[in-house]
């Protein structure tokens, strides 16, 4: 939920909110912490000693009803070595504060005065602290009807002390990015009876058209006329009809260059189809539209902050259900590109959706760079767990830019191998009866899925496939998210756009 950020030069002596002060490695007190230590007659130091707290990054000491100050709650936050205390460190600290205080306080006052020799300036540190707090403060309570008052989120305001008004533009930018992350989390967290192809489109219209994003929608009749037999085959067992949504943000105006194209896999619920998944854990398959959710959030963030860039997000939206009309294992479909596909397993459906979206997006927008986000394979979880997304790319330069952007914002990516067309990995998807099959061997499952997609990338297009099956949701909470949807991809793309298109 949105946080209101205030900028003050000094701590309000009458404040009754929670006060946060900072301590570096070795127990080195900031000026704000020293003032509290003096006002309280040494209680801060005694509390630190009792808790064996020495300012380690991400560690906290909490004092209730502290002596000598008006605040009824004092939190001492460790930042580690100040020389290494960069934007990411302060985001994580802000997230930790939100996790502790979300249901306890309405306002947090963070005193940034006198933190010496940081890796970033005070204004940057403070604004990223607020950004981390806002990201971690999001949660979905729509379907909770019996929450007690003390269980409800209360945190709405953060006051940054010792921070100049000149920090406002950066804060406003990051709040727009947070809005994109929150939109992604909201879409991904909703159940399959709320988010399906038609409703996904309508929620995007409502969120995006006021921001100046141009929306184009293809229905199943139009897709059939275009020859999208691969995508349509996935959805033919569902009563929910397929959609493609294109969301275009042009922050450069007339004469803008070819857009960066983002493609998202939007399987709004995935039973596996006739190759049905086991029942335990199937409820998690509401998250199989996480790629589409990430792309939608990217557009909200970029348009919200009025990025000086031309970006189009295209999402293929289907529901994969078992039915008397559902696609069968062994069926052969013809993609929009004209290439034929033997469907060995109807649960390898994401690539069947994406390949037709690739073809249409490249014909429509003529991109030079295309990124796709997809919860494509369980195999990437085996490789990377929930900590990284796997990247497969035909361009070393593009990979390097994604790696740099992801590292800067903690949307971490790790490169995976990819063969040239006809190479050893590519041969895994050769079919005896069609141009290709939609399933390789059990070994290298994520690689063969990427090889499949590469066959639909036009010559000359720099492309990266980002498999976010492990990164889109996590079974445990992290510094910037509760357990569940992470919003992965939004900040990665925002930073990538800033570094490569707006630099």
C-alpha dist (Å) from residue 173 to 122, 128, 397: 17, 11, 27
- Is 277 marked active-site? yes
Residue 39 to residue 22: CA distance in whole angstroms:
16
Q: Are 405 and 490 in contact (CB under 8 A)?
A: no
Q: How far apart are the first and last CA of the chain?
A: 30
DSSP, res 241 = P
CA–centroid distance for 354 within its chain: 19
Exposure string (b/e) for 337-363, b if CB count within 10 Å is 16 or more?
Answer: bebbbbbbebbbbbbbbbbbbbbbbbe
How far is residue 139's CA from residue 324's CA, in Å, rounded to a whole number? 38
SS3 string, 349-399, reads CHHHHHHHHHHHHHHHHCCCEEEEEECCCCHHHHHHCCCCEEEEECCHHHH
If residue 207 lies in a helix (H) or strand (E), which one and from where to where?
Answer: helix 197-208
Between the alpha carbon of residue 361 and those of residues 97, 216, 310, 340, the distances in Å are 42, 12, 14, 19
Burial of 13 (0-12, 13-18, 19+ CB in 10 A): exposed
Distance from C-alpha of 119 to C-alpha of 87, rounded to nearest angstrom: 8
3-state secondary structure labels for all residues of 7-31: EECCCCCCCCCEEEEEEEHHHEECH
3 state DSSP class of 117: coil
Q: Is 88 among the residues known to form the active site?
A: no
Q: How far apart, in Å, are the Cα atoms of 227 and each of 234, 346, 357, 367, 500?
A: 14, 19, 11, 21, 35
d(CA 251, CA 258): 12
The torsion angle over the Cα atoms of residues 425, 429, 431 and 434, rounded to 10 degrees, is -130
129 three-state secondary structure: helix
The residue behind tokens 């590292």 is: 407
- Which is the catalytic residue, given 277, 308, 404, 415? 277
Q: Which of 136, 241, 351, 491 is catalytic?
A: 351
CA distances from 171 to 63, 164, 400 (A): 29, 11, 28
Closest alpha carbon to 489 in 361, 384, 351, 391: 391
Q: Is 420 exposed, middle or buried (0-12, 13-18, 19+ CB in 10 A)?
A: exposed
Catalytic residues: 277, 351
């Amino acid at each position: 939920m949105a946080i209101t950020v205030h900028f003050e030069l000094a701590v309000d002596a009458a404040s009754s909110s929670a006060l946060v002060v900072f301590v570096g490695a070795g127990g080195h007190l900031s000026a704000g912490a020293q003032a509290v230590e003096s006002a309280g007659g040494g209680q801060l130091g005694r509390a630190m000693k009792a808790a064996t707290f020495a300012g380690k990054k991400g560690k906290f000491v909490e004092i209730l009803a502290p002596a000598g100050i008006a605040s009824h709650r004092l939190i001492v936050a460790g930042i580690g070595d100040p020389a290494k205390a960069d934007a990411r460190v302060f985001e994580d600290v802000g997230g930790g504060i939100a996790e502790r205080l979300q249901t306890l306080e309405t306002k947090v006052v963070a005193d940034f005065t006198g933190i010496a020799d940081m890796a970033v300036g005070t204004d940057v540190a403070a604004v990223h602290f607020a950004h981390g707090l806002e990201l971690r403060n999001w949660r979905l309570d729509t379907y909770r009807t019996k929450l007690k008052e003390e269980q409800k989120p209360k945190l709405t305001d953060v006051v940054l002390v010792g921070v100049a008004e000149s920090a406002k533009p950066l804060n406003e930018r990051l709040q727009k990015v947070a809005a994109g992350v929150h939109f992604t989390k909201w879409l991904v967290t909703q159940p399959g009876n709320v988010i399906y192809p038609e409703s996904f489109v309508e929620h995007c219209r409502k969120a995006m058209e006021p921001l100046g994003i141009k929306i184009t929608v293809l229905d199943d009749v139009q897709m059939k006329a275009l020859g999208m037999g691969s995508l349509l085959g996935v959805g033919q067992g569902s009563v929910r009809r397929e959609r493609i949504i294109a969301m275009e943000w042009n922050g450069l105006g007339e004469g803008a260059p070819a857009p960066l194209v983002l493609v998202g896999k939007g399987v709004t619920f995935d039973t596996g189809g006739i190759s049905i998944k086991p029942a335990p854990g199937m409820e998690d398959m509401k998250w199989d539209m996480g790629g589409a959710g990430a792309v939608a959030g990217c557009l909200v963030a970029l348009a919200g902050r009025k990025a000086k860039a031309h970006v189009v997000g295209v999402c293929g939206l289907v529901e994969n259900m078992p039915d008397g009309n559902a696609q069968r294992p062994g069926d052969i479909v013809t993609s929009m590109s004209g290439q034929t596909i033997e469907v060995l397993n109807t649960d390898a459906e994401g690539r069947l959706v994406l390949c037709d979206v690739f073809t249409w997006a490249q014909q429509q927008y003529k991109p030079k760079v295309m990124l796709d986000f997809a919860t494509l394979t369980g195999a990437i979880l085996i490789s990377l767990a929930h900590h990284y997304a796997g990247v497969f790319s035909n361009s070393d330069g593009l990979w390097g830019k994604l790696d740099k952007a992801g590292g800067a914002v903690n949307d971490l990516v790790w490169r995976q191998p990819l063969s040239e067309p006809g190479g050893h990995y590519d041969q895994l998807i050769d079919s005896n009866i069609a141009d290709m099959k939609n399933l390789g061997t059990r070994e290298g499952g994520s690689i063969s899925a990427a090889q499949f997609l590469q066959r639909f990338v036009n010559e000359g297009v720099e492309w990266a496939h980002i498999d976010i099956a492990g990164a889109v949701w996590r079974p445990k909470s992290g510094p910037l998210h509760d357990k569940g949807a992470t919003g992965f991809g939004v900040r990665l793309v925002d930073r990538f756009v800033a570094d490569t298109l707006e630099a």
